[in-house]
Amino acid sequence: MIAVFRLRAPARARLHALRELYRRFFGENTPEARGRRLLAEWLSDEQRAQFEQYRHFDVIGCDSGKRYRIHYGTAANVHEVDASGNATMGWCFVPSGFLVPGDVMLAQKIALETDEKGALALANRFPPATHSEHFYRRPF
């Protein structure tokens, strides 16, 4: 390995730039990163801003008009919320197969916005936890 401190300033700068490019390329091409990018493309501006700030976004069910909050995750991450934003019921439904969180969340969004009754007919209900907001605020 080359001793970085022995390189001259221009060579150190090039080496640093190359390492940064390598880190970004592989960091942005993971399945999880691609799933988040695809999800972001499908979110409205309001949903995207909400997701970037809180790691969740709200959708309106196509059949009932109820509001659901989809948290970052792959299971037990959908909550029905009241007008004040308080979770009233949890819903667990996921697509088949192993998918990264962004892909699961996109499938949940599309299901609630296009076939809410069908999605909830397959879902498991669970009571919302009072501490769930703290769990979902962990960084990516």
pLDDT tens for each residue of 77-88: 999 999 999 999
Does residue 35 form part of some domain? Answer: yes
Q: pLDDT at position 134, please?
A: 44
Whether pLDDT at 18 is above 90:
no
Does residue 41 form part of some domain? Answer: yes
pLDDT 10s digits, 102-124: 999 999 999 999 999 999 999 99
DSSP 104-120: HHHHHHHHHHH-HHHHH
Does residue 96 form part of some domain? Answer: yes
The two counts, helices (H) then strands (E), for the chain are 6, 5
Task: Give the domain extent around 46.
Answer: 31-133
Does residue 19 form part of some domain? Answer: no
Whether pLDDT at 50 is above 80:
yes
* 39 in Cβ contact with 105 (< 8 Å): yes
Does residue 48 form part of some domain? Answer: yes
Does residue 47 form part of some domain? Answer: yes
Q: pLDDT at position 27, please?
A: 67
Does residue 139 form part of some domain? Answer: no
Does residue 5 form part of some domain? Answer: no
User: Total domain count for the chain?
Assistant: 1
* 39 in Cβ contact with 48 (< 8 Å): no
